[in-house]
């Protein structure tokens, strides 16, 4: 079985971190760096937070759940994030699909795609690092 409750709680905590990160970007990074640079810095900060969360999660649950559990957690986190972003963004916030997809366009300098990648790989990479093998 998969530690659904703990994985969901950790993802919710990461959502709070992501909201705080967005507030930081809008209040300080954007005015100081400009919109494009602020998005890059903000994305990298969030990826670092995901890495730390994955490390803490893997340290706690890795021994019980192993590699499969870490892969499952990462894919679960990434899936929840993308689903939330698109469903909330479109149906609640009213953003068109094209605007939501634009954040994934790396050819336009958008690096948001790194966040779902970090979420998907983070727990597995953290568990491998903790065990001394990547």
Query: What is the mean pLDDT of the segment spanning 94-98?
Result: 97
How far is it, in rounded angstroms, from Cα 127 to Cα 110? 29
Phi, psi of 14 (to 5 degrees): -65, -35
pLDDT recorded at residue 15: 97
In this predicted structure, what is the pLDDT of residue 94?
Answer: 97
Longest dimension (CA), the chain: 47
In this prediction, residue 2 has a pLDDT band, given cuts at 50, 70 and 90, of: confident
- What is the number of domains present in the chain? 1
Confidence band of 134 (pLDDT split at 50, 70, 90): low
pLDDT at position 54: 98
- DSSP secondary structure letters along 54-87: HHHHHHHHHHHHHHHHHHHHHHHHHHHHHHHHHH
Q: For residue 60, count other CB atoms closer than 10 A to its CB.
A: 13
Q: Taking residues 17-44, report their average pLDDT.
A: 96
What is d(CA 12, CA 74) in angstroms, rounded to the nearest whole number? 14
Cβ atoms within 10 Å of 34's Cβ, excluding its own: 10
Per residue in 70-80, pLDDT (tens digit) is: 999 999 999 99
Q: Which domain holds residue 52?
A: 4-130
Is residue 123 very low, low, confident or very high in pLDDT (cuts 50, 70, 90)? very high
Model pTM?
0.93
At residue 3, the pLDDT reads 84
User: DSSP letters along 102-133, please?
Assistant: HTT-GGGT--TTHHHHHHHHHHHHHHHHHTT-
The 10 Å Cβ neighbour count of residue 40 is 16
């Amino acid at each position: 079985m998969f530690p659904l409750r703990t994985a969901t709680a950790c993802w919710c905590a990461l959502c709070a971190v992501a909201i705080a990160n967005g507030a930081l970007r809008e209040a300080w990074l954007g005015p100081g760096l400009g919109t494009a640079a602020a998005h890059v810095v903000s994305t990298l900060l969030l990826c670092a937070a995901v890495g730390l969360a994955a490390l803490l999660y893997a340290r706690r649950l890795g021994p019980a759940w192993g590699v499969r559990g870490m892969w499952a957690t990462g894919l679960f986190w990434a899936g929840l994030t993308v689903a939330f972003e698109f469903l909330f963004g479109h149906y609640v916030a009213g953003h068109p699909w094209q605007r939501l997809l634009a954040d994934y366009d790396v050819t336009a300098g958008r690096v948001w795609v790194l966040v779902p990648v970090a979420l998907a790989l983070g727990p597995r990479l953290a568990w491998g690092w903790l065990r001394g093998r990547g």
